[in-house]
Amino acid sequence: MADHLGRGLSADGTVRGLAAVTTDLVEEARRRHGTLPTATAALGRGLTAALLLGGLLKTGERLSLEVSGDGPLGCLLADASPDGGVRGFVSRPRTDLPPRRGKLDVGGAVGRGILCVMRVPAAPGPPYRSIVPLVSGEIGADVARYLVDSEQTPSVVGVGVWVEPDGRVGAAGGYLVQAMPGASDGAIDRLEANIAAAPTPSELVREGLDASAMLGRLMQGLAPRDLERRPVAYRCRCSRERALGACIAMGRDELERVLTSDRRAEVVCEFCGSRYEFLEDELRAILEGKSPGSGA
């Protein structure tokens, strides 16, 4: 099943949901970053959560989700856009902990800390940033806390990754369901019962459910209808031009030091691992086009 994200709405318009299948893109992230199982699960959950939040954005906006805890994983960063592109990394990809209650211990890897969600508008202007304390470090509950505290929208968020014994990603996905203003107590009770009875997101994907089927199960009894389905993928925005900007930002003194010692510079993208090499003549061209210190 190809990775995708779907949106649905209850018949009366008071409950909306998003669901995503993200198996392939999480596997790509694992391969790019060389993550071990616990780090794979954490990164996959973060990527899926960012995609779900990105599905709520307007065209042209971007969203970043950053989890900073005191656990061995360090920082997790995921960046998504409404067109279905997502990228991310963890600062310690080789993190792997013993299972806890039969599941990968993402909460233990993350530890205590904060979740920061930043929305970058399409039009020029400052980004909107919201910071909330982590509830569990398991990512899904933490994103739900953000939606309640920062956007005053009661939400349930589930994200999950199934890692095979050989370390590959066997299934990944998630859902985000919200009760909108006007939702009846009966609708909310039914929704809560459905979610409590549902398997984990990764188990739903392993059963072969697509986004529409996931939302159909979670919103059973609310007559959900499909609104949209779009492909999603691991997609980085890095380029040689952006890497060149990073070289310019090194500043004249650092560039001269590099020319004296290595005579070349290599810029590695944190999000995808792509490498961009700049040789001596290119670095000298940068220096010649800048006054001293102007590249800092």
Report d(CA 245, CA 208) in Å as an integer: 44
pTM: 0.91
What is the domain count for the chain? 2
The two tokens of residue 109 are: 């890897």
Report d(CA 195, CA 109) in Å as an integer: 26
Determine phi and psi for 267, rounding to 5 degrees. -110, 125
Total Cβ atoms within 10 A of residue 4: 19
DSSP string, 141-158: HHHHHHHHHHH---EEEE
Spatial CA neighbour of 155 closest among 62, 53, 41, 67:
53
The two tokens of residue 159 are: 């994200």
Instruction: Please list the alpha-helical segments (H only) found in 83-139.
Output: 106-110
Q: What is the largest CA-CA distance in the chain?
A: 72
Total Cβ atoms within 10 A of residue 98: 8
How much is the pLDDT for 114?
A: 97
Same-domain check for residues 206 and 281: no
Domain end: 192, 211, 234, which one? 234
Domain end: 200, 215, 234, which one? 234
Q: Which domain holds residue 283?
A: 240-288
Q: 3-class SS at 2?
A: coil
Which range, of 75-79, 166-170, 236-240, averages the lowest pLDDT?
236-240
What is the CA angle 199-24-106, rounded to 5? 55
Specify if 65 maps to a domain. yes
CATH (domain of 37): 3.55.30.10
DSSP single-letter state for residue 282: H
Which range, of 11-15, 22-26, 73-77, averages the lowest pLDDT?
11-15
Decide if pLDDT at 221 tops 90.
Answer: yes
Specify if 72 maps to a domain. yes
Same-domain check for residues 254 and 230: no
What is the CA angle 254-255-261, rounded to 5? 90
Decide if pLDDT at 70 tops 60.
Answer: yes
Using 50, 70 and 90 to split pLDDT, how confident is the model at 263?
Answer: confident
